[in-house]
Amino acid sequence: MELKTAESAGPSKRDKHYGPHLGIVAIVFVTLFVSSLIVLRVLTNGASFPTPEWPEDLVKDYFNQFGSVVRIISFLQFSSAIPLGIFTATVTSRLKFQGINAAGVNIALFGGFTSSIFLAVSGLTGWVLSQPAIAIAGNPIRAFQLFGFATGGVGHVVAFGLLLAGVSVTSGFARLIPPWLVWLGIITAAFAELSSLSLVFPSLTFFIPLGRFPGFIWIIGAGFTLSKSKKLTPLQI
């Protein structure tokens, strides 16, 4: 006689995690953020966004000339913070649903929410910078520019790395995502944390994109591979 198992019986409603589709939420986040970069390049004819090394006069001229463009990209980056927060809440909820109570889940929760908040603050700072009265005023524009760079660059990426590391390590032990995603998350997280050194050594700002863009691949991959259903085992007879 063939014995039925919990696995062959199929998952019940209690064995399925309900929430937004992680893959779709991840795509929305990446699409909004990447769109802001494309809009920046296209509407400014390839002009780079000001960095902390730019002279104050050039920064002022940039925001005077491209204020309307900065408003658009600020809106897109602010908007991208919302799906990142939703992804964080959902992915950590799903890990807890899988029975994982490790500290990594809470680290991911802290990192994801902090990353989302920094990105939102950076977007709002860009909106302030784009206002004509600020650009004309002169000195305040430098302070807002540096604050926007710090929150949207180092602040966002360092916290984003904590999200990647927390989910990758805990999911790796439980084998909930493919091994290549685990390693991609860990390596990208390491680059993200190293980007904090750019606050002291400006030449190390290259760690910021290394901690950001591979993370886009990771967040989409994790969104589509992290199972909604609990891993079921055969019933003991």
Mean pLDDT across the chain, nearest whole number? 86
Q: What is the mean pLDDT of residues 100-115?
A: 92
10-69: pLDDT as tens digits: 555 567 888 899 999 999 999 999 999 999 999 999 888 888 888 888 888 888 899 899
Cα 60 from Cα 174, distance rounded (Å): 51
The reported pLDDT for the residue numbered 69 is 93
Nearest alpha carbon to residue 232 among 11, 63, 4: 11
3-state secondary structure of 184: helix
All structural domains of the chain with their residue ranges? 20-225
More confident residue, 130 or 209: 209
User: Kindly report the CA angle at 64 between 52 and 42, in degrees rounded to 5?
Assistant: 80
| Burial (Cβ within 10 Å: 0-12, 13-18, ≥19) of residue 42 | exposed
Report the predicted TM-score, pTM, of the whole model to 2 decimal places.
0.79
**Angle, CA of 143, 206 and 146, to the nearest 5°:** 5
Q: Could you give the CA distance from residue 224 to residue 31 in angstroms, rounded to a whole number?
A: 16
Q: How many helices (H) and strands (E) does the chain have?
A: 10, 0
pLDDT tens digits for range 139-169: 677 777 878 888 999 899 999 999 999 999 9
Determine whether 31 is exposed, middle or buried from the number of CB atoms within 10 Å of its CB (0-12, 13-18, 19+): middle
